[in-house]
Structure 1
């Protein structure tokens, strides 16, 4: 039999011949179908890569370097990850589906004590019981010694924290999760590295190549010019954005802390280094990368050095490079910015659908807590209703709580549009959730109050901010039947607030993410400051170790607050998975409810509309039936998907909502 002649590989025509030759040498050991697949991916993503590299003087040259890095990584990609890539290529909406629920945790606080990454695998059944298909383990790449900003001061991108295990352990955990249908998400800190990172160490040792990896200035002249427009991230314990380093012999840019050195992304060598890191992590089985502090990458004099256009261009290039190796990998932008800015991280204009696949919907979290405090929905309706449309191939990450504090991102123009003052409302929310406002149910802690603006952020667990801790204390202290009844009502209302908040999160679309402990109504950790390196950062108050006794209680006593929250979240996940309306490609349309105590969201799907109604008050509320019909959902044709029955109607045909009740109306 005459041997067949191999077909020429389908490289893009613009790929330089020298790069093509080197690539074919690198890939020579692979079977033809593997080489063909890689060449097809390069051809598919080449234009996006080159276009995204426009900030650099010679985009094709940098692109050729990137493709060679991807080809080298492709050699070592495992068979099971190649299979995952094929599956994801056939199911590109895998992360958009209604059955997708997320969970976020610190590995050492989620796994059994002392078990490290191996212990995470022992919690998979717990995740599956909650409907989880996406697990975000908080920063676990090796950081500098404490203080390290909770792990976000990375000293080595290719090693795991020693107390958690090894990179081999991480690969094994990713494999176990993947077998159970759970995708692993890790943090990738893009804006900065620790002062102890090898690149920074080389710069301090006088290596000019690595010195150019950072923004270094001989005196304060240029830093002072930048400082005129920069915002302080941590004004309490890290004022300013530049730090003098004696070994370096210069002022280095440090947006966050003095030990976190901002990378110079205007240097293409830095871009290529981070591409190589991304490819390495993809080959460990990571399926989602959270691009930490992405808004800060590009520096421009006279601006806040956030959200510059080059950030979106370079993210497009990073994504294109990643897709060449691993179509299974998606990006999540950690950009806590306003609605007009955050949509750019999912792709707008010529970057439509080409930037990140996921982005945090921080405004949704802020507006949920705002509604619960004010018992009013007009501000939320205005603020959330003006979000521009996002690409149908992307999804929001929605959440009630996360590892971070809550900054009251209330836009002054939104506030003015509903006849309130933005600064006054922000002040009210800070006072309310720190428990300093009369009648507050919350128990939060003030974090990073800015004396110049008086803005104060808030730390605290979801259950404590919703009033459960205060209500349980009142129940324990009850001295007669009446006080016990009042306290029991307060407990019921706190549980209802938690579940209402999560109903809004689960009913928004995208990927709703549970913060570890919320499923068992975890309260503030009273011993949060017992660890010395945590003592100055009260965000650790809402980062407790998952109390497994509470998980056992949730299963054993469904009438307890813990049991009710756990069962409620499981129920939300199960109902959500059955509703095509909640696919992320279907936009959420915020509409003004006739009752300002009811928050209303419509999702229009070919199978029919879904009308979600949320009573954000302790008092019963009603929404007119005629209004629901005008939305497109006559009540005689609707059921509440959350209970399977027709909506509860009053005598005049209005939808009746009890205390903090959510209703998801759909056609049966």
Structure 2
């Protein structure tokens, strides 16, 4: 598709002062990504020719202003487009103030992160939010400023540079669905600007909101019921999916797209390498639907990604879409948008089924559900995790449950009971979050150590229970590290921190028990972790070993699709990864008893002579033609050298 003359002319005006080779490079990128950009824009804004000129002008300006070191990064990433798919990738997620106090403190922790093997650092929302309650920073009042207590934009740029030079990519949240009521756009709307009022979805009475509400789910039914809020300044009902002070943006307005496109380019030029597109599923509103996962969302993301590829191709997009598998694949690109939307997406289903397997001590539901996941583009990658900053919602599909003889509703209730400690025999210490009596939905908050029973075992002084809980913690991480993609550790889990007992002391957090699993990184626990005989040292050492091992396994490149097998035994999850250099068979015993992997499974995968990459031991079936796995054990089997 030919780049129109007016678009090319706009770019050349911006590029007039750069060297011919740099101008040629920009124009080559423009030609390469023009079809994706124009198709995405044309799908959503069919009469927006002027918008395309403005967007390319903005991309050219960002390109001219981009730091030489970032230009070099762009070239490196263009020559190695699979950089983020490689098995050496390891993520770490934290709040800046709970890791280092501020951005300068985070920089002081770079050595610790490198020692852990981290190559990808996700700092939770740090752009300036509204004062007071702000949904953990997701109510952004200024996209171009940092929270004052953390530092300045100059500090952020310095941190990004230091991370980059240490081989760590900085990941930040970009909240696309909404802004704070105090954001300048919202302030202008409240002061009477008709242009800015159109940035939002405002209705004079309840007629239209009530029609939408018939099919809209509630995100926070406990403390933010409904999806619309009356605002006296607007004299209208404004769309507020999440909280009354988080105003949804109207992405049907091309001005909104142009504004956020410039934010993307601005953050990229500060050195941000991955943008986590928060609440992306909610961008497009359509009457009679849940207003999630609408096709325009994927066209919008494709256009934003194409624009970034033109100006700053070293930047990745990560979709924060916690949706069903059939919907999730579209955030990485399906059909005509195959591989053109986001580069990364959260594998929420894997996280849910890890916890499901550990509670039920049965892999049949997980095997069926994970095997049924549609394939994703080979140029993309999953972000895998045992848990994150958010609560755990039991996204167990009723059809998947029925296929293995379970009731989806009953299994979800069991998981809530188990991880809140209400189920007989459970040693989990999770907290119920957002109980919805109408649906029975009960989400769960808690650190990995508390959910896996380690907190309870340590409090009881039960050495055997501690050993079993440590094994479960490491097993859960082995599953997510052995899946491929980018596994992400949540801060504190690497040293087995329990729930924060003081989570409610801050009045801003008192109504949100998710802060129980966002504890500050405990320096005393880090000190204990230096002793490999302590619980902290065993967990930290085990995670480091997993990271080092996976980095040397080409089978864990994200382009290699995992193939869930069996199960042959209901207690053992089997996952094969077939790489040109051979097959890796991962086996995970999710029970407290010894469980077998049959010899024929190894032979089927060409692993007659196998070695466990995690232990370095040769593995051969015994006289009963079985390989027996210890309780809670993981093995990554590859072909032994002849």
Instruction: Give the structure-2-normalised TM-score.
Output: 0.99
Q: Deviations over 1:148-190 (max 9, x none)?
A: 0000000000000000000000000000000000000000000
Matches within 5 A, 1:175-254: 175-254=161-240
Task: Give 1:601's aligned residue.
Answer: 575
CA deviation profile, 1:395-451 (whole Å, cap 9, x unmatched): 000000100000000000000000010000000000000000000010000000111
The corresponding residue for 2:92 is 103
8 Å CA contact 1:358, 1:395 repeated in 2:
yes
- Are 1:640 and 1:663, in contact at CA under 8 Å, matched by a contact in 2? yes
The offset of 1:78, in angstroms, is: 0.5
C-alpha distance in 2, partners of 1:215/1:378? 45
Check the 8 A contact 1:612/1:665 in 2, yes or no.
Answer: yes
SS where residue 95 of structure 1 aligns? Answer: helix
3-state secondary structure, aligned to 1:272: helix
Counterpart of 1:70? Answer: 59
Partner of 2:529: 554
Q: In structure 1, how many angstroms separate the alpha carbons of the residues matched to 2:344 and 2:13?
A: 36
Q: What does 1:494-643 correspond to in 2, within 5 Å? A: 494-555=469-530, 557-630=531-604, 632-635=605-608, 637-643=609-615
The match for 2:626 among 654, 664, 667 is: 654
* Mapping 1:79-118, distance limit 5 Å: 79-111=68-100, 113=101, 116-118=102-104
**Contact kept? 2:593, 2:630, Cα under 8 Å:** yes
* Alpha-carbon contact 2:10-2:53 (below 8 Å) kept: no
Task: Give SS of 1:449's match.
Answer: strand
Contact 1:622 1:654 in 2 (8 A): yes
Counterpart Cα distance in 2 of 1:305 and 1:592:
37
| Conserved 8 A contact 1:241-1:253 | yes
CA deviation after TM superposition for structure 1 residue 623, in Å: 1.4
Q: How does 1:225-624 map to 2 (within 5 A)?
A: 225-475=211-461, 487-555=462-530, 557-624=531-598
**Residue of structure 2 aligned with 1:667, choices 620, 625, 639:** 639
| 1:238-294 CA distance string (max 9 Å, x none) | 000000000011000000000000000000000000000000000000000000000
CA–CA distance in structure 2, aligned partners of residues 406 and 307 of structure 1: 20
Whether contact under 8 Å (1:468, 1:491) holds in the other structure is yes
Deviation readout 1:30-85 (Å, 9 max, x if unpaired): 11111111111111111100111111132433222110111111121001001000
- Is 2:14 aligned against 1:49? no
Q: Is the 8 A contact 1:633 1:666 kept in 2?
A: no
Give the root-mean-square deviation of aligned CA atoms: 0.9
Structure 1 counterpart SS, 2:119: strand
Q: Deviations over 1:643-662 (max 9, x none)?
A: 11112644313111001000
Looking at structure 2, the residues matched to 62 and 299 of structure 1 have their Cα atoms a distance apart, in angstroms, of 21
Per-residue CA shift, 1:290-337, capped at 9, x if unaligned? 000000000000000000000001100000011111010000000000
Q: Is the 8 A contact 2:598 2:621 kept in 1?
A: no
Q: Any stretches of 5+ residues in structure 1 without a counterpart? A: 1-11, 476-486
Do the aligned residues in 2 keep the contact of 1:608 with 1:667 (CA within 8 Å)? yes
**Deviation, structure 1 residue 634:** 3.2
CA distance in 2 between counterparts of 1:326 and 1:410 reads 38
- Structure 2 distance, partners of 1:489, 1:621, is 19
Alpha-carbon separation, structure 2, partners of 1:429 and 1:302: 32
Instruction: Tell me, in whole angstroms, the C-alpha distance in 2 between the residues paired with 1:592 and 1:561.
Output: 34
The total of aligned residue pairs comes to 639
Structure 2 gap ranges (5+): none
Task: Output the CA distance in 1 between the equivalents of 2:574 and 2:602.
Answer: 10
CA distance in 1, matches of 2:45, 2:9: 24
**TM-score, normalisation: structure 1:** 0.95
Aligned counterparts of 1:15 and 1:27: Cα–Cα separation in 2: 17
Q: Matched residues in 2 for 1:648 and 1:137: separation?
A: 44
Worse-superposed segment, 326-335 or 557-566? 557-566
Tell me the distance in 2 between the aligned counterparts of 1:548 and 1:651. Answer: 50
SS of match in other structure, 1:271: helix
Between the aligned partners of 2:90 and 2:634, the Cα distance in structure 1 is 19
Determine the C-alpha separation between the residues in 2 that align with 1:288 and 1:23: 25
**1:61 is aligned to 2:34:** no
Instruction: Report the Cα distance in structure 1 between the residues aligned to 2:14 and 2:618, rounded to whole angstroms.
Output: 63
